[in-house]
C-alpha cells in the first residue's frame, strides 16, 4: 500500500480507515516524478464534486508548485474489483457506490463481465437469489412451476437439470463460499 506523507494528515484522515469504505490514494504526479510521495486518501462514495475538491486541495498542497496532474496509486474497499491508475472520478465514484450496494458479490459479477459496470448492473436485474447449490435452485424452480406427480418425485435428477441450465447458458453462477451459490438468469 502507498505510504502517506506528513501532508496527508488531517484531510487525508477524513475517509474511513476500516477498509470497507471504497477509497483511493490520489497521488500528485509532479511530486512523484520528482521523487517525492505526496497524496491523499479520499473516500470515493462522496459526491464527485467533493472528490474533485479534495484532489484539488491535495494538488494545491503539493511540494511542487503548480501541480495539476494526479493518478490513483492505491485503493481499498473495492472487494477485489479493479481500478486503473487513470480511472476517472465519475467511473471510480460509480464503481464505489455499486460495491457499497452489492459488496463482494458485485465485485465477482463485475469480474464475470470483464469490468463492464453497465452489463454487471443489468445482470443484477436478473438475479435469482442465493442457494446452497445450483441443483437446489433447479429443484425449487421446478417445484414452484410444475406440478410433479408423487410417483415421479424420486426420479427427477436435479443435478443434471442444473448442469444443463448452466451449459445451455440459461443461468450463470457465482460462488462466494461453501453452500453459497448466487444464481443469475442469462436472459
Q: Is 1 domain-assigned?
A: no
For residue 18, the model assigns a pLDDT of: 55
Q: Quote the cell numbers at residue 60.
A: 494545491
Distance (Å, whole) CA 160 – CA 20:
39
115 CB-contact burial (10 Å; exposed 0-12 / middle 13-18 / buried 19+):
middle
Residue finishing a domain among 106, 123, 140 = 123
Residues of the chain with pLDDT under 70: 1-19
**Residues 137, 73: one domain?**
no
Check whether residue 181 and residue 142 sit in a common domain.
Answer: yes
- Confidence (pLDDT) at 172: 97
Specify the pLDDT at position 4.
Answer: 39
Last residue of a domain, one of 123, 157, 173: 123
Cell 480511472 found at: 87
Cβ distance 45 to 100 under 8 Å? yes
Judgement on whether residues 119 and 154 belong to the same structural domain of the protein: no
Same domain, yes or no, for 82 and 149?
A: no
pLDDT in tens, 29-44: 999 999 999 999 999 9
Return the pLDDT at 19: 60
- The tens digit of pLDDT for each residue in 4-30 reads 343 443 334 444 445 689 999 999 999
Among the listed residues 39, 35, 34, 28, the one whose alpha carbon sits nearest the alpha carbon of residue 2: 39
- Looking at the fold, whether 40 and 100 belong to one and the same domain comes out as yes
Does 175 fall in a domain? yes
Does residue 107 fall inside a structural domain?
Answer: yes
Domain range for 161 is: 126-185
pLDDT of residue 187: 75
Q: Given this model, what pLDDT does residue 16 score?
A: 42
Using alpha carbons, list the distances in angstroms from residue 98 to 5, 21, 50, 102, 180: 30, 12, 18, 6, 21
Amino acid at each position: 500500500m502507498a505510504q502517506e506523507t506528513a501532508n496527508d494528515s488531517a484531510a487525508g484522515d477524513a475517509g474511513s480507515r476500516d477498509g470497507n469504505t471504497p477509497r483511493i490514494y490520489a497521488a500528485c504526479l509532479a511530486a512523484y516524478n520528482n521523487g517525492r510521495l505526496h497524496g491523499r486518501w479520499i473516500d470515493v462514495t462522496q459526491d464527485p464534486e467533493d472528490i474533485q475538491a479534495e484532489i484539488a486541495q491535495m494538488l494545491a498542497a503539493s511540494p511542487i508548485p503548480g501541480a495539476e496532474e494526479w493518478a490513483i496509486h492505491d485503493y481499498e474497499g473495492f472487494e477485489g474489483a479493479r481500478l486503473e491508475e487513470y480511472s476517472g472520478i465519475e467511473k471510480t465514484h460509480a464503481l464505489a457506490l455499486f460495491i457499497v450496494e452489492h459488496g463482494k458479490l458485485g465485485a465477482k459479477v463485475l469480474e464475470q463481465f470483464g469490468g463492464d459496470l453497465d452489463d454487471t448492473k443489468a445482470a443484477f436485474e436478473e438475479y435469482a437469489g442465493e442457494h446452497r447449490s445450483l441443483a437446489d435452485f433447479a429443484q425449487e424452480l421446478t417445484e414452484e412451476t410444475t406440478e410433479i406427480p408423487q410417483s415421479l418425485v424420486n426420479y427427477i435428477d436435479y443435478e443434471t437439470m442444473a448442469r444443463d441450465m448452466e451449459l445451455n447458458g440459461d443461468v450463470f453462477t457465482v460462488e462466494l463460499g461453501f453452500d453459497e451459490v448466487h444464481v443469475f438468469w442469462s436472459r
